Amino acid sequence: MRTQLNSHVKLLIVLAAVNIVIISILTILSPTFMTYGNLSSVMQRMSELAMLAIAETIVLISGGIDLSIGATMALAGAVSGILYKLGIPLEYCIIAALLSGVGVGLLNGFLVVEMKLQPFIVTIATMTIIRSIVYALLQGNVLTGFPAKYVDLGYVYIFKIPLLFIIMIFFAVLAILLLKKTSLGRRIFSVGANENTAYISGIYVKRIKYFAYIASGFICAAAGLLFCIRIRASIPDAGINAPLEVISAVLIGGTAITGGKGSVVGSLLGILAMYLLLNGFSLLGLNPFWEVIILGIILIYVVGQENISKNIKGLIVNIIKSRKSAAKASLSER
């Protein structure tokens, strides 16, 4: 356990160093990078994606996976916007939006726990279904007309820090306390590490899995509301690339895809690195589509790094052995 903890701390230090290096390089290459306007924009833009990373971290630690995070985020925005257009008071629209996320989490949990289906397949299916529902609700259009007092929250700053970023930090602190300081958090880690052992030790495995997916749905819905506030509208394509981006950042941050290992801090450092790169691409006038390619390559490496490392080591060993054999054969011929 101590060895695992030390390795995770080392990973966090490496991630922090990587972020510092990226910041240093961008500061040199772009004179506008370190301006207050640019940095506040980065904090605002990364807020909702960081919320999705928090949600995904909880699910992955529990031994599952949630690919419906982006669609759930879009659903919350669509629900809140349509209900407000129908004349429902704003506070009830927000509650309904959050409950829509809880409903998605409950559905995912039911299919995984009760129907015993694979989380990967389940959440791909629910992602497709929910995204289709969002397109049907919005009819493929951008929905505007939210009250000014609501969307103006995107321009509220506390000690020069965007309110949206502060809300994200609040959720992050709650998640960290949950995972590290409560018995529920320890049970989430136990279920993810070894479900059978957790069951034998008296943990209600089904309840833990339900909680992970419901918590994910709730946090993703909250992220959808933050997104609507930031862009002052609800759009059907909200979070459409989120699964690739978020899972890449979470895995880079040290959360194991097999469960039982991870941290919210690591996930947030991964998201930060991603947004710094995205911001750098924008400031330097580079094609942003390359970022998606880079993310895909990083994801392949992170998921298969153990096998990749073994294969590389095996290849090196085989090359060395073949050279030694060739050298011995040459000496014997002489």
Exposure of 47 in the CB half-sphere (CA atoms within 13 A): 28
Cα 15 to Cα 6, 48, 224, 264: the distances in Å are 14, 21, 27, 13
pTM above 0.85, yes or no: yes
* Cβ neighbours of 144 (radius 10 Å): 14
Q: What is the dihedral of CA 131, 174, 258, 302, to 10 degrees?
A: 80
- Could you tell me the end-to-end alpha-carbon distance of the chain, in angstroms, rounded to an integer? 55
**Are the beta carbons of 213 and 106 closer than 8 angstroms?**
yes
List the chain domain ranges: 2-303
In this prediction, residue 198 carries a pLDDT of 93
In this prediction, residue 334 carries a pLDDT of 55
C-alpha closest to that of 82 among 135, 143, 148: 143
Task: Give dist(CA 160, CA 30) in Å, integer.
Answer: 22
**2-303, what's its fold?**
ABC transporter involved in vitamin B12 uptake, BtuC (1.10.3470)
Place of tokens 């299916």: 125
pLDDT in tens, the chain (334 residues): 555 556 778 878 888 888 898 899 889 988 888 899 899 988 998 999 999 999 999 999 999 999 999 999 999 999 999 999 999 999 999 999 999 999 999 999 999 999 999 999 999 999 999 999 999 999 888 998 889 889 999 889 998 999 999 999 999 999 999 999 999 999 999 999 999 999 999 999 999 999 999 999 999 999 999 999 999 999 999 999 888 889 888 988 888 888 999 999 999 998 998 888 888 888 887 776 676 676 666 666 655 554 444 444 554 455 455 555 555 555 555 5
pLDDT in tens, 124-182: 999 999 999 999 999 888 998 889 889 999 889 998 999 999 999 999 999 999 999 99
Cα 331 to Cα 132, 320, 327: the distances in Å are 70, 17, 6
Task: Give dist(CA 303, CA 6) in Å, integer.
Answer: 21
